[in-house]
Chain A
Amino acid sequence: MNNLLEQFLSEARDFLQGIAEKLMQLENDPNSTELMVELFRFVHTLKGNSGLFDFPEMTRVLHASEDLMDAVRNGRVSYSQTLADQLLEAMDFVSALMDEIELTGKTGSNHVGTSTELTNALRALLNAPNAVHVPVAIETYTEDGLAVKAISWSELPPMDLPESTAMGLHRCAIDGETVLWLQYTPEPECFFKGEDPFFLIRQIPDVAWRHIILNNTASTLAEMDVFSSQLVFQLLTIASAEELDDLLRYVPDQIHRVKVPALAFVKPSGNSDDVGLDEDFIINILEFFDNDEIETLTNTINTMLELSSPDLWSSSALRWVLHLIETEPDNKPVQRTLLEALRTQKTPDWSALTLPDVEPTRNVVASPVVSINTSEVSDTLLVYFHEVIDAQKEILSLPATSGGAWSAGRLKAVGATLIGCYRAVQRANEVEHIEAALQLALTENSPTPLLIWLDNSLLDTHEPVLVEEHEEHIVVNHLAAQTDAKSNRRSEEIGGANIVAASKTLKVDQDKIDRLMNLIGEMVVAKNALPYLANRAETVFGVRELSREIKAQYAVINRVAEEMQDTIMQVRMMPVSFIFQRFPRMVRDISRKLGKEVELVLEGEATEADKNIIEALSDPLIHIVRNSLDHGLEMPEARLAAGKFATGKLLIRASQESDRVLIEIIDDGKGIDPDVIKQKAYEKGLIDESTLERISDQDAVNLVFAAGFSTADVISDLSGRGVGMDVVRSAVEKVNGTVGIESERGKGTRLFLSLPLSMAVTNVMIIESNTQIFGVPMDMVVETVRVPRAHIRTIKQKQTTVLRGRIVPLLSLNDLLAKSEPQLPNEDDEFATLIVRVHGEHVGILVDDFRETVDIILKPMTGILGGLPGYSGAALLGDGSVLMVLNPRELI
């Protein structure tokens, strides 16, 4: 499961919780617009988020909920109890889907039915104003077998099936296969959603008959809007319901399906004969039929068929009679009706034919309200049901436990299982009886009452609950059972069931983490005071023993504090994949736009860094990747000409190097031409003529980081406005990072960012100057040396010294801070010199003395002091004094 999905799930649960809460509050205060708006916002956001993933069922239900909430918000529909119920039910469904996603990572197509039902119910509440959106379902799958707007098969449009096809389908239907008539009316704007209805419809397997209708509304061809779908597809298929559900899961509201019974195919066709068949012949064969002389009947019919033209309607009808005798020998009424129809030469109206004596399966077929899903689900369900019930019986017949008495726990467990089972098979009305038997069993402390109840009740449960048999009666029962089960489910969930789904992650407000961070910072400072105290104990009060004990305690506190600090830092850590995951899409879009072929490789996505660092990285990285795509990688033709693969490679790699995160962006493009850079920089006045002459290639490449630099001649929406790399550099430096670039002409460019893992703790070196102490960030310090006065030379009024063969400029800290006092050398007349790296160059800063290095929590300065660029912040030291931390970069 990817992070995005994880995030979605965790957020979505919050939203669901929020929606439920708001609905509850609305119940007490139904007129509150504020609550209503908030509720809408929740549903709206949740829908939007779900759209990022491939969960069509979830999005559809949420979309309907959103529409409904929008209507409520605008006062078109008033808030009501039913509305709240419906919304809660929809949210239960969404929550169930999320459980499934959490387990399996996807949603099954078996939810199409429920989602359609919920969507319809929600839309129904929207009423007439939005009638356009209400799908006109001929038959929708509903769990309880009720069709919303059912038309029976007899109202289907004529299909003109060839006789052989019709007979084949008839045989299929008789053999128990489901023949479905399917009508797919794509919504007019479907092309804009990237759908191809024709492609979709072609995926449906086992199509026996098909038809396409064009509802062209335009009067002339010129007016025809080709990008608005005007097609209607109709077909007959024997594909399984699961297969169709899966194929059509994105458009269930545009599909009408009708289960076609076998009889519908019995439709003789052909030219009607003026004369018709001889009445004597008809009387004859009817007589044979009534006397059950089937063989004579078939012989007579065969003879008649040989004599008459095969194109006649009557011939077709006779062939059908033969076909029926073969396939359904026991279905006398139908055969007789067809024989009698020979007189009128009209297909009998099968829907009017009452079929009381036919076997039950036929009845099922003939009923248009049969829901395919229900029957199938309950069949498999019933199998499990019986398995579980049998197991319970076994448990009940076990001998009593060692104590001699039946333990109440076991009985209760069996009782709970039974109740659950009966609810699952929609027989919640039995629950009362089970509970009664359970009570009895508990008081008697024996399993007998439960066993007796089971034996009695099991007899009738072996019969599957067939809605079709006694339609009205059971449907009502069934409905009652369902609502019962549903309301139970909901309250259970609110009760205890969601403990199972409780997530292991905790969402904490960042402010709280920051506060923790500050507290631990104070703790570190307080802890650092202990060594001073120990020192004082020894030097001022002369109690050596106490001093040692304080030091021992300090060691313990120090360990705990460091661990705490580490842990809190861990909490703030985030993987770089958080910013990496947007790159595949971005690279794809940009490379398409530029007509380049790019292969993006991401490495080290699991590398972690502090949240602030990761967030600060996001913008610079986007800049860099855009630059690489725009300026770095060449067009495919240019690449081929240069002897490279047409597809360019862009590698973004993150890795950890001790306490820093290293991010590299490497492309194998044309690289940076130092000459071009020099020229451009000179033209823009960034370097003078003399620099132009002597600047090295690497230094020239580094010029891309100079402010206002741009090589692009044309300003595109991608890059070229001169706010590229210098912005990157300052953004990276803001979080104490560094950025560098290496490039080889024709081979490619490598950009690397080095960032601290965390910004929380800074390691600084304390130095002394003019009787004051200052801090200097350790990551800038290259080395500390003591330079004898004699080694300091003055070149052009600037102090310098030669250090290991290199000329290093020297600056006095007192000068930098505008103090007039000279630096103090030590007794050997040597100056303490701090060599720092600033913009890749070494500079020596003369100070009075070095002190120790400490870990501090650096606080940026605020208010008026915030405007002082020479300092990066201040920190509290263990003895309570304030340490000003210098920022040599700005200072020099």
Chain B
Amino acid sequence: MAIEYKKSQAVFNDFIGVEEAEALLEWLQKNPKGKVNFAECTHIHASSLQVLIAIKPPIAAEPNDADLAVWLKIALK
């Protein structure tokens, strides 16, 4: 499972594919205070990315992937 949904955190692992977007949107709507953890994430499909941009959830951990970190910073500021 590319996104693990914990109690207050969505943990992104590796490569997030196109199919994750819907579940992510649902989870973020249900957990308005839910944080996102990108530490182990290497790429997020554009569909999930636009969900993140629309909601701009608080970030628990930035990605270790430097390039993705730069993009996410720009996108979610």
Closest to B23 in A: A226
Contact of A214 among B28, B50, B68 (CB under 8 A): B50
Question: Does B61 lie at the interface of the complex (its beta carbon under 8 Å from any beta carbon of A)?
Answer: no
**What's the minimum C-beta distance from B58 to chain A, rounded to whole angstroms?**
16
Rounded to whole Å, the gap between the CB of B76 and the closest CB of chain A is 9
Tell me if A210 and B45 are in contact (CB < 8 A). Answer: no
Contact among A211, A216, A226 for B21, CB-based, below 8 A? A226
Q: How far is the CA of A198 from the CA of B50 in the complex (A)?
A: 10
Say whether, besides A221-B25, A222-B29, A229 and B47 are in contact (CB < 8 Å).
Answer: yes
Give which listed residue, B21, B22, B45, contacts A199 with CB less than 8 A: B45
Neighbour of B46 across the interface among A198, A210, A222, CB < 8 A? A198
Instruction: Tell which of A196, A211, A224 touches B18, judged by Cβ atoms closer than 8 Å.
Output: A196
**Total of A-B residue pairs, C-beta within 8 Å:** 64
- Determine the chain B residues whose CB is within 8 A of the CB of A221 once the complex forms: 25, 28-29, 54-55
Q: In whole angstroms, what is the CA distance A231 to B45 when docked?
A: 12
Q: Is B2 an interface residue (CB 8 A)?
A: no
**Is there a chain B Cβ closer than 8 Å to A541's Cβ?**
no
A429 nearest CB across to chain B (Å): 49
Task: Say whether B47 contacts A226, CB under 8 Å.
Answer: yes
Instruction: Please tell me if the beta carbons of A226 and B71 are within 8 angstroms of each other in the complex.
Output: no
Q: CB-CB < 8 A to A229: which residues of B?
A: 46-47, 50
**Shortest beta-carbon distance from A223 to chain B in Å:** 11
A198–B44 CB distance below 8 A: yes
- The contact string, 1 if C-beta is below 8 Å from chain B, for chain A 215-237, is 01000011010110111000000
Given contacts A196-B18, A202-B67, contact A231 B50 (CB under 8 A): yes
CB-CB under 8 A from B43, the residues of chain A are 198-199, 202
Q: Is A268 an interface position by the 8 A CB rule? A: no
Contacting pair A196 B45 (CB below 8 A): yes
For the complex, what is the distance from the CA of A198 to the CA of B16, rounded to whole Å? 11
Chain B residue, CB-CB nearest to A198:
B46
Does A197 lie at the interface of the complex (its beta carbon under 8 Å from any beta carbon of B)? yes
Residues in chain B near residue A226, CB distance under 8 A: 21-22, 24-25, 47-48, 50-51
Collect the chain A residues with CB atoms within 8 Å of residue B71's CB.
198, 202, 210, 212
Complex alpha-carbon distance, A186 and B50, angstroms = 12
Residues of B23-69 whose CB lies within 8 A of A: 24-25, 28-29, 43-51, 53-55, 67-68
Assess whether A224 is in contact with B49, with CB atoms less than 8 Å apart: no
Shortest distance in angstroms between A203's beta carbon and chain B's nearest beta carbon? 10
Chain A residues with CB under 8 A of B67: 202
Do B50 and A210 touch across chains, with their CB atoms under 8 A apart?
Answer: no
Which residues of chain B come closer than 8 Å to A202, judged between CB atoms?
Answer: 43, 67-68, 71
B46 touching A199 by the CB < 8 A rule? yes
**Contact at A212–B25, with CB atoms within 8 Å?**
no
- In contact, A214 and B18 (Cβ under 8 angstroms): no
Shortest Cβ distance from residue B71 to the other chain A in the assembled complex, whole angstroms = 7
Name the residue on B nearest A218 (C-beta).
B54
Q: Are B25 and A224 in contact (CB under 8 A)?
A: yes
Q: How far is the CA of A230 from the CA of B53 in the complex (A)?
A: 11
Task: Please tell me if the beta carbons of B49 and A198 are within 8 angstroms of each other in the complex.
Answer: yes
Q: Are A230 and B29 in contact (CB under 8 A)?
A: no
Check B46 against A191 for contact (C-beta < 8 Å).
Answer: yes
When the two chains form their complex, are residues B47 and A214 in contact, meaning their CB atoms are under 8 A apart? Answer: no
> In whole angstroms, what is the CA distance A229 to B49 when docked?
10
Q: Say yes or no: A230 contacts B55, CB within 8 Å.
A: no
B29 — which chain A residues lie within 8 A by C-beta?
221-222
Hey, which chain A residues are within 8 Å of B22, CB to CB? Answer: 226-227
Residues of chain B with a CB closer than 8 A to A222's CB: 29
| CA gap between A229 and B47 in the complex, in Å | 7
Q: Which residues of B contact A186 (CB under 8 A)?
A: 46
Chain A residues whose CB sits within 8 angstroms of the CB of B1 once the complex forms: none
Q: Which residue of B lies closest to A215 (CB)?
A: B50
Instruction: State whether A224 touches B44 (Cβ < 8 A).
Output: no
One of A198, A212, A216, A224 near B45 (C-beta < 8 A): A198
From the candidates B21, B51, B53, name the one contacting A212 in the complex (CB within 8 A): B53
- Cβ–Cβ contact A227 & B54, under 8 A: no
Chain B neighbourhood of A214, CB < 8 A: 50, 53-54
A224 to B28: give the CA distance in the assembly, Å: 13
User: Which chain B residues lie closer than 8 Å to A199 at the CB level?
Assistant: 43, 45-46
Chain A residue with the shortest CB-CB distance to B52: A214
Cβ-closest chain B residue relative to A210: B74
Most B-side CB within 10 Å, residue of A211, A216, A226: A226
349-367 of chain A: CB within 8 A of chain B? none
CB interface residues, A 479-500, toward B, < 8 Å = none
* Residue ID in chain A nearest B74 by CB atoms: A210
Q: How far is the CA of A89 from the CA of B73 in the complex (A)?
A: 47
For B68, list chain A residues within 8 Å (CB): 202
Contact of A231 among B21, B24, B46, B74 (CB under 8 A): B46
Contact A212 B47 (CB under 8 A): no
A191–B24 Cα distance when bound, in Å, is 16
Alpha-carbon separation in the docked complex, A590 to B47 (Å): 28
Contact of A197 among B25, B46, B55, B74 (CB under 8 A): B46
Is there an interface contact between B47 and A227, defined as CB atoms closer than 8 Å?
A: yes
The answer to whether B70 touches A231 (Cβ under 8 A) is no
Give bound CA distance, A212 to B74, whole Å: 7
Q: Which residues of B contact A211 (CB under 8 A)?
A: 74
Residue of B nearest to A194 (CB): B18
Q: How far is the CB of B3 from chain A (nearest CB, A)?
A: 13
Inside 8 A of A231's CB, which chain B residues have their CB? Answer: 46, 49-50, 53
Q: Report A185-204 CB contacts with B as 1/0, cut-off 8 Å.
A: 01000010000111100100
- Top 5 nearest A-B pairs (CB, nearest first) are A198-B46, A226-B21, A214-B53, A212-B75, A197-B46
A-B CB contact pairs (8 Å), 28 listed: A191-B46, A191-B47, A196-B18, A197-B46, A198-B44, A198-B45, A198-B49, A199-B43, A199-B46, A202-B67, A202-B68, A210-B71, A212-B71, A212-B74, A214-B53, A216-B50, A221-B29, A221-B54, A224-B25, A224-B51, A226-B22, A226-B25, A226-B47, A226-B48, A227-B21, A230-B50, A231-B46, A231-B49
Extra contacts besides A191-B18, A202-B71, A230-B50 (19): CB < 8 Å: A186-B46, A191-B47, A196-B18, A196-B46, A198-B43, A202-B68, A211-B74, A212-B75, A214-B50, A216-B50, A221-B28, A221-B55, A222-B29, A224-B51, A224-B54, A226-B25, A226-B50, A229-B46, A231-B46
Binding site for A on B (CB under 8 A): 18, 21-22, 24-25, 28-29, 43-51, 53-55, 67-68, 70-71, 74-75
